[in-house]
Amino acid sequence: MKNSKRSDLAKREELTAYKLLLPALIILLVIAIYPLGQVFYTSLTDRQFASGQETEFIGFDNYRRLLSVTVQKLEPVVDEETNHPILDNETGEFIYERPIDVLPREPIRYREYKTFTIMGNRYVLGATDVDFIDAIKNTVIFTIISVFLELVLGLGIALVVNSNFKGKGITRTAMLIPWAVITVVSARMWEWMLAPNRTGMFNMLLDRFDLIENNIAFLASSSFQLPAMIAVDVWKTTPFMALLLLAGLQTIPEELYEAASIDGAGPVKQFFSITFPLLKPAMAVALIFRTLDALRVFDVFQVLLGQSQYSMATYNYFQLIGNRNMGLASAIGVIIFIIIFGFAIIYIKSLGVEMDETS
């Protein structure tokens, strides 16, 4: 009888829990799942933004247009008389076919993305949408480098402000100033500092110390554009990373450090044997927040680079607003979502493992 009563009570509690969760599930369905489903459906059509054109279902054509790539071998150009490959008089190397002549044009036209050599053979990598492939590359490089630098610098700042010294409270407040500045405002500040003339702080300093002969166009030169975006993001977001890591540091009991000091462990050994292992869960949370945020970076690229270099989010904006191609823009949004979702799954699983190890 007692077991029966407990079983009935457990069932009633479970039913009550489901009833309490129902409002949250309905809200989630309305504000998240339905819009996401609508975006996915739109990505399968040729819908135009702000247009009276009739929408047609085109299946996965938008995805094929965005993600299709091909690799083609380039053959050396042969002299018809001698039947030998023609050499370039200046470089002494073979003259190869033009990439445009070997890349497919039907049913989808491919454009040259990059040429490379493997084991003496020349190849061309073609893509149907070179700009989107570039946007993916820019976003991934931006994410990996900026998040790594923010983690290293944020950890250093967190360790400093976690120690005892005069003015610790003021220092903790001051370190958050870059993060508190609106991204568009900070981007404009950096635009002035990176100006390609003497009004730009970096060109002025480099010229003052005779490190450059001519001013550097940081935001116009393709070699400096991505590093500039990374620098702006690291300056602004490192305080946020430091704040998350500081919260993790403050959960580590001080008694562990005291015991380690008595055993003769120095600061370096204490860091790797106490601080780093116990800080892993907080580091994983910080990495989740920053990586997912960096993968959908928009404002810094849009304000400073416009259409000269794209991130995935700015290319999505360009297709929707500039080309009014809502179907293609929706497909880009779905791809961004899938990439972010993949990173989230990886981080969440890693976080679970780390938390189990340190618990």
Q: Residue 352: what pLDDT? A: 58
Query: Up-side HSE of residue 319: CA atoms within 13 Å toward CB?
Result: 26
Each residue's pLDDT tens digit, 62-71: 999 999 999 9
Domain count, the chain: 2
On whether both 153 and 290 belong to a single domain, the answer is yes
Of residues 40 and 79, which shows the higher confidence score?
40
pLDDT of 355:
43
Position 358 in a domain? no
pLDDT band at 4 (very low <50, low <70, confident <90, very high): low
Q: What is the pLDDT of residue 358?
A: 41
Question: What is the sign of the dihedral through the CA atoms of 252, 254, 260 and 266?
Answer: positive
Residues 267 and 161 in one domain: yes
With respect to residue 34, please indicate whether it lies within any of the assigned structural domains: no
pLDDT on residue 261: 85
Residue 309 lies inside a defined structural domain of this protein: yes
Q: Examine the pLDDT at 350 and tell me if it is beyond 90.
A: no
- The reported pLDDT for the residue numbered 3 is 57
98 and 217 in a common domain: no
Tell me whether residue 44 is in a domain: no
In whole angstroms, give the CA distance from residue 312 to residue 38: 20
* Residue that finishes a domain, picked among 127, 148, 167: 127
**pLDDT tens-place string over residues 72-105:** 999 888 877 777 788 877 777 888 888 888 898 8
Give yes or no: residues 117 and 181 share one domain.
no
CA distances from 335 to 5, 36, 251 (A): 51, 12, 38
pLDDT for position 113: 92
Residues 156 and 116 occupy one common structural domain: no
Interatomic CA distance for residues 78 and 261, integer angstroms: 75
Same domain, 262 and 280: yes
Average pLDDT for residues 335-351, to the nearest whole number?
Answer: 82
Q: Is the pLDDT of residue 320 over 80?
A: yes
Segment 157-178 mean pLDDT:
84
For the whole model, what pTM was predicted?
Answer: 0.84
Judged by phi (left if over 0) then psi (alpha if -120 to 50, else beta), residue 46 lies in alpha
Question: Which tokens is 344 given?
Answer: 């989230």
- When comparing pLDDT for 263 and 156, which is higher? 156
Maximum mean pLDDT: which of 211-220, 282-291, 314-323:
314-323
Same domain, 136 and 118: no
User: Is 32 among the domain residues?
Assistant: no
In three state form, how does the secondary structure of the chain look? CHHHHHHHHHHHHHHHHHHHHHHHHHHHHHHHHHHHHHHHHHCCECCECCCCCCCCECCCHHHHHHHCEEEEEECECECCCCCCECECCCCCCECECCHHHHCCCCCCCCEEEEEEEECCEEEEEEECCHHHHHHHHHHHHHHHHHHHHHHHHHHHHHHHHHCCCCCHHHHHHHCCHHHHCCHHHHHHHHHHHCCCCCCCHHHHHHHHCCCCCCCCCCCCCHHHHHHHHHHHHHHHHHHHHHHHHHHHHCCCCHHHHHHHHHCCCCHHHHHHHHHHHHHHHHHHHHHHHHHHHHHCCCHHHHHHCCCCCCCHHHHHHHHHHHCCEHHHHHHHHHHHHHHHHHHHHHHHHHHHHHHHHHC
Residue 237, in any domain of the structure? yes
CA distance 41 to 205: 53
Q: Among 33, 37, 35, 16, which Cα is nearest to 25's?
A: 33
The pLDDT tens digits for 107-120 are 889 999 999 889 88
Token couple for 47:
């819908």
CATH of the domain at 317: 1.10.3720.10
**Does residue 351 register a pLDDT over 70?**
no
Percentage with pLDDT > 70 across the chain? 96
Indicate whether 342 belongs to any domain. no
The domain of 123 spans: 73-127
Q: Are residues 78 and 188 in the same domain?
A: no
Over the chain, what is the mean pLDDT? 87
Look at 198 and 143; give whichever has higher pLDDT.
143
pLDDT at 312 over 80: yes
pLDDT at 6: 60
Are residue 123 and residue 175 in the same domain, yes or no? no
In a shared domain, residues 188 and 272: yes
Q: Which residue has the higher pLDDT, 225 or 164?
A: 225
Average pLDDT over residues 220-240: 93
**Would you say residue 318 lies in a domain?**
yes
For the residues 276-295, what does the mean pLDDT come to?
88
My answer on whether 107 and 206 are in the same domain is no
Give the pLDDT of residue 294.
93
Do 304 and 196 share a structural domain? yes
Q: How confident is the model at residue 246 (pLDDT cuts 50, 70, 90)?
A: very high
